[in-house]
Amino acid sequence: MGWSDWFSDSNGDSVSSKTESRSDGGTTEHYLRDTGSGKDNHQHIVIDKDSGGRSERSHAYPNKSQR
């Protein structure tokens, strides 16, 4: 599955997302978030969930210009 179209979240940030299924039945959710510095300078957030939908772990990368 590819990235979704950009949409505005409850904070007014622009977000694009995608969900990948894993072989263990869980999912990995990816989010690109533009917090006002432009979509080319987004943050990347990753959330791993188990087969029941509970969050197992998550991490975020800083804005692209700071990586």
Structure tokens given for 55: 């969050």
Q: What is the pLDDT of residue 24?
A: 97
How far is the C-alpha of 37 from the C-alpha of 52, rounded, in Å? Answer: 35
* Segment 32-41, tens digit of pLDDT: 999 887 888 8
**pLDDT at res. 63:** 86
Which residues of the chain register pLDDT less than 50?
A: none
Query: Is residue 46 one of the residues assigned to a domain?
Result: yes
Give residue 14's Cα distance to chain centre: 11
Q: Please give the structure tokens belonging to residue 8.
A: 């505005």
Question: Can you tell me the distance from the alpha carbon of 9 to that of 51, in angstroms, rounded to the nearest whole number?
Answer: 26
Number of folded domains in the chain? Answer: 1
pLDDT value, residue 35: 80
Q: Is residue 1 part of a domain?
A: no
Task: Give domain status of residue 30, yes or no.
Answer: yes
43 assigned to some structural domain: yes
Q: Domain span at residue 58?
A: 7-66
In a domain, 2, yes or no: no
The structure's pTM equals 0.84
